[in-house]
Amino acid sequence: MVQFDLIIKDGTVVFPNGVDKVDLGIKDGKIVLIDKVIPIEGIKVWDAKNQYVFPGMIDVHVHFSEPGREHWEGFLTGSQMMAAGGCTTYFDMPLNGIPSTVTQEALHEKVRLGNEKSCVDFSLWGGLVPGNESSLEGLARDGVIGFKAFLSTTGNKEFEAVDDLTLLNGMKIIAKLGKVLALHSESAAMTDWLKEQKEQEGKVSADDYLETRPIIAEVEAVERAIYYSELTGCALHFVHISSAKAIEKIEQAKSRGLDLTVETCPHYLLFNHDHLRELGTVAKCAPPLREKNEQEKLISLLINQKFDMVSSDHSPCPYDLKDPNVHNLFEAWGGISGGQFTLLSMIKLALNYDIPFELVAKWTAEAPAKRFGLSDKGQIRVGADADFAIVSLEKPFVVSKGNFYAKHKDSLYMNYSFPCRIVGTINRGNAVFKNGEILDGALSCGGWIKPIENAAIK
């Protein structure tokens, strides 16, 4: 008889095809038994009665800025924040750290830091920037999850946007490597030109900011990338898509057989441009929060499964870069701090719009694992990693500075109320978060996860 390390007892478990009240037996970090009743005598038990057990969230889009800008967010605080949100694997983007992850040396340093400090599992994106095309093969061989590039101005001298030739050359290489290129898709020509016009006129309000990043700028960049994908055979992942017209272009390309996936973020689903008008810099991001009618379109597209996955795009910064007293909105850092709230956001939408919980699990775990080659993660099944987010619907969760684990507490989500709460997070069989607290020993629980083709690389 198996001597389990842990049994999760009496939980309502979210499987790919529905929910069921079962017990889960865990041994050596894996799910080894799923049964209606597992005897618990002498075994450590997590009582999940009246709770939902989701697969641990996989967030493919976060910005931790270590090394170099750990004072923005680092692996220690960032991973604790993810754990508090039910996330057991995150993918750190290659920019904002110094150096950016555009060389093998930079990748290895990030791996070292993450392995030392992260309390949940993580993967790392490599970057595609002008001049580093020769580094892509080595980065792929050493285990990056994929590559990231910007089609709009980044505002970051360590990680510049790609020109068209760099993009085409990079996509050709990435296609041969069998990797995915993630794209921030806004037209630099359009957004830079519109910003210059506004600033010359002294127009720097919330409405002016929105007008400098119109939907057409997103659509043009998406459509151009699709043409390049068709030409090079490069698989693409479109990050933080914020408009129905962009989804229309992506859907058309998928119907022609192109290898594309697309994410949106909770802030585009829960908030809209009125919040930027009301709250100012804390709600600034790129692409911007859209008008309410566009927000409603995005929710409808989500319900109709036009988004493959949902990710946070957690993009924090120190308070002084988000100073709410700044007169020129264009000068403030553009990013939403909210990596802790993605799963809670999706459950709230599920409850509001009668979306089955298995779709929430698909968007937040199953689809990311499948897209990026994490075969041991993303579903609750025998043989998979024992990664779980345990959720209660019995009490609401109101965001406060005391329960938000990010390094900087200024967030669009502050004081926001969710009709559910994360009561536990288990990473490969180890409890790292329970009832509002990061548990002792959590630091030893996280590690670098490589896609399946890199599994033998140490």
CATH number at residue 27: 2.30.40.10
Identify the domain boundary among 371, 401, 421. 371
Return the pLDDT at 239: 98
The closest of 20, 28, 25 to 44, measured between CA atoms, is 25
C-alpha span between 121 and 428 (Å, rounded):
9
pLDDT at 456: 35
Indicate the residue among 307, 341, 371 that finishes a domain: 371
| One domain, residues 160 and 24 | no
Q: Are residues 360 and 446 in the same domain?
A: no
Q: Structural domain tally of the chain?
A: 2
Q: Are residues 20 and 127 in the same domain?
A: no
106 lies in a domain?
yes
State both tokens at 63. Answer: 């910005």
Cβ(335)–Cβ(316) under 8 Å? yes
- pTM of the entire predicted model: 0.95
Are 35 and 62 contained in the same domain?
Answer: no
Domain termination site, one of 307, 339, 371: 371
- Cα separation, 450 vs 114, whole angstroms: 13
Note whether residue 377 is domain-resident: no
How far is Cα 183 from Cα 146, in angstroms, rounded to an integer? 11
Per the structure, the complete domain to which residue 221 belongs is given by 56-371
Tokens 């509002």, residue located: 436
Taking Cα atoms as reference points, which of 17, 39, 44, 152 lies closest to residue 431? 44
User: Does one domain contain both 450 and 365?
Assistant: no
pLDDT at 454: 47
- Please indicate, yes or no, if residue 222 is contained in any of the structural domains: yes
Based on the domain organization, do 412 and 425 belong to the same domain? Answer: yes
User: Does 268 share its domain with 408?
Assistant: no
82 and 180 assigned to the same domain: yes
284 and 306 belong to one structural domain: yes
What would you report as the CA-atom Rg of the chain, rounded to the nearest whole angstrom?
A: 21
| Domain contains 376 | no
Same domain, 311 and 350: yes
Judge whether 441 lies within some domain: yes
Cα dist from 404 to 145, 177, 270, 400, whole Å: 28, 39, 18, 6
Which residues contact residue 10 at a Cβ distance below 8 angstroms, ignoring those fewer than 6 apart?
A: 21, 23, 47, 48, 49
Low-confidence ranges of the chain (pLDDT < 70): 1, 324-327, 453-458
Give me the pLDDT at residue 26, please: 96
Quick one: 438 and 291 in the same domain?
no
Q: Are residue 241 and residue 140 in the same domain, yes or no? A: yes
CATH code of the domain containing 76: 3.20.20.140
> Is the CB of residue 183 less than 8 Å from the CB of residue 236?
yes
Asked whether residue 420 is assigned to any structural domain, the reply reads yes
